[in-house]
């Protein structure tokens, strides 16, 4: 940008949407977690998760302001090195104790970090930079499809070893979306890559007993109401109890030790119970607005790199929101995908907001 020219403003609608989602998330984390935190011997403080989420929200907001002020082109030459850091971090998790059989976190005292959250965006940074230089080569199966599937598949494989099928699947889905936008042929994407990915996910879903139980139980959760179907049934109870207008903030009954850890992946059910159908539709509308603005930024970006980067970042949030809401409403098998900006989780919140800063910077540099 030439010296003396006024700096372009960011997309105000997108910025406002992100801030509304963040604000709702912090309030609902407090409402959903207060009873659990107060009566849990480990915490005994109704504001325990609220205070942590508020701190992470502030850190994430600062990170967003920082990345929003950095020209997104500066990330183009660093994507490869960021992926290298992710490999180290993904391997490092195996040196820390597992949590419920999964190894996804690096724990240092009271703090923890989940490398897979960072890896999602690292993949986007790398593939967007690389594919933007490919040009017509993206139409070639061997040069434009296979290499990126192998790279993303490698990272997805590391994450699978951590027992995190959902994030591994999202990485592969986002890679396919970016490839398609970058110019890969539809017959390659829909005729080969899509079916192979779907077959692989289904095979992996049925390869482990706990995943197979989730898949089969999804069809009839009441068949094992006290076991694998318990969480989904409680979610449906919560959504049904909320009806049109909800029971009011703080008045959820399912959060009183009926819903396991209600402030995490199933927080949308508590939103439905306390804010009703209207509240749920409002949240869904916010995500639709987010996707609309993200697509608009991608379409109007001044270069291919900006387009692919915007598509990748938008796709991650969109896929996670769709999957989370589908799971909570019983539309697909239960999987551990948090609701972006709303579910409790420091790593997810800070990294998502930092990525939003990149998307907002792209909006600042449109044609």
Give bridge partners of residue 108 from the DSSP assignment: 111
What are the tens digits of pLDDT across the range 319-344? 999 999 999 998 888 888 999 999 99
Rounded Cα distance, 173 and 167, in Å:
10
The token duo for 222 is 């009441």
DSSP class per residue in 207-274: TSHHHHHHHHHHH-GGGGTTTTTHHHHHHHHHHHHHTTT-S-TT--STTTTTSSSTTSTTHHHHHHHH
User: Which backbone phi and psi does 6 adopt, to 5 degrees?
Assistant: -65, 145
What are the tens digits of pLDDT across the range 156-209? 999 988 888 889 999 999 999 999 999 999 889 988 888 888 888 778 777 767
Residues listed for the chain: 367
Which of these, 144, 152, 148, lies nearest to 120 by C-alpha position?
152
What are the tens digits of pLDDT across the range 5-63? 445 789 999 999 999 999 999 999 999 999 999 998 888 899 999 999 999 999 999 99
The proportion of the chain whose per-residue pLDDT surpasses 70, expressed as a percent, equals 96
| Opening angle at CA 322, ends 351 and 72, nearest 5 | 35
Give the per-residue pLDDT at 2.
43
Locus of tokens 């180290």:
88
Band (4; pLDDT cuts 50, 70, 90): very low
Rounded Cα distance, 169 and 281, in Å:
26
What are the tens digits of pLDDT across the range 274-305? 999 999 999 999 999 999 999 999 999 999 99
Band (251; pLDDT cuts 50, 70, 90): very high
The answer to whether residue 212 scores a pLDDT higher than 80 is no
> Do residues 311 and 177 touch, judged by C-beta distance below 8 A?
yes
Give the per-residue pLDDT at 162.
87
The answer to whether residue 1 scores a pLDDT higher than 70 is no
């Amino acid at each position: 940008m030439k010296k003396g020219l006024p700096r372009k403003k960011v997309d105000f609608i997108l910025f406002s949407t992100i801030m509304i989602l963040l604000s709702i998330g912090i309030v609902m984390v407090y409402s959903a977690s207060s009873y659990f935190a107060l009566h849990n011997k480990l915490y005994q403080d109704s504001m325990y998760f609220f205070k942590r989420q508020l701190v992470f929200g502030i850190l994430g907001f600062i990170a967003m302001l920082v990345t929003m002020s950095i020209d997104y082109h500066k990330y183009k030459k660093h994507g490869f090195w960021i992926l290298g850091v992710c490999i180290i971090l993904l391997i490092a998790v195996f040196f820390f104790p597992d949590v419920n059989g999964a190894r996804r976190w690096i724990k240092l005292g009271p703090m923890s970090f989940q490398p897979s959250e960072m890896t999602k965006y690292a993949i986007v940074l790398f593939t967007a930079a690389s594919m933007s230089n490919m040009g017509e080569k993206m139409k070639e199966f061997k040069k434009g499809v296979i290499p990126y599937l192998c790279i993303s598949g490698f990272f997805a494989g590391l994450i699978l070893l951590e027992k995190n099928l959902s994030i591994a699947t999202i990485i592969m889905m986002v890679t396919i979306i970016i490839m398609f936008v970058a110019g890969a042929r539809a017959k390659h994407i829909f005729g080969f890559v899509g079916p192979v990915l779907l077959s692989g996910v289904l095979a992996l879903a049925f390869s482990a007993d706990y995943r197979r139980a989730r898949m089969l139980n999804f069809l009839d959760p009441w068949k094992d109401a006290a076991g694998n179907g318990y969480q989904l049934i409680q979610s449906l109870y919560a959504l049904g109890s909320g009806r049109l207008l909800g029971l009011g903030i703080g008045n959820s009954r399912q959060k009183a030790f009926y819903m396991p850890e209600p402030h995490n992946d199933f927080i949308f059910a508590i939103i439905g119970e306390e804010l009703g159908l209207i509240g749920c539709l409002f949240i869904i509308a916010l995500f639709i607005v987010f996707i609309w603005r993200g697509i608009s930024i991608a379409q109007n970006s001044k270069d291919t790199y900006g387009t692919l980067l915007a598509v990748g970042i938008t796709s991650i949030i969109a896929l996670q929101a769709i999957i989370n809401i589908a799971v909570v409403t019983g539309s697909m098998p239960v999987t551990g995908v948090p609701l972006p900006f709303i579910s409790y989780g420091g790593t997810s919140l800070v990294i998502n907001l930092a990525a939003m800063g990149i998307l907002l910077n792209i909006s600042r540099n449109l044609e």
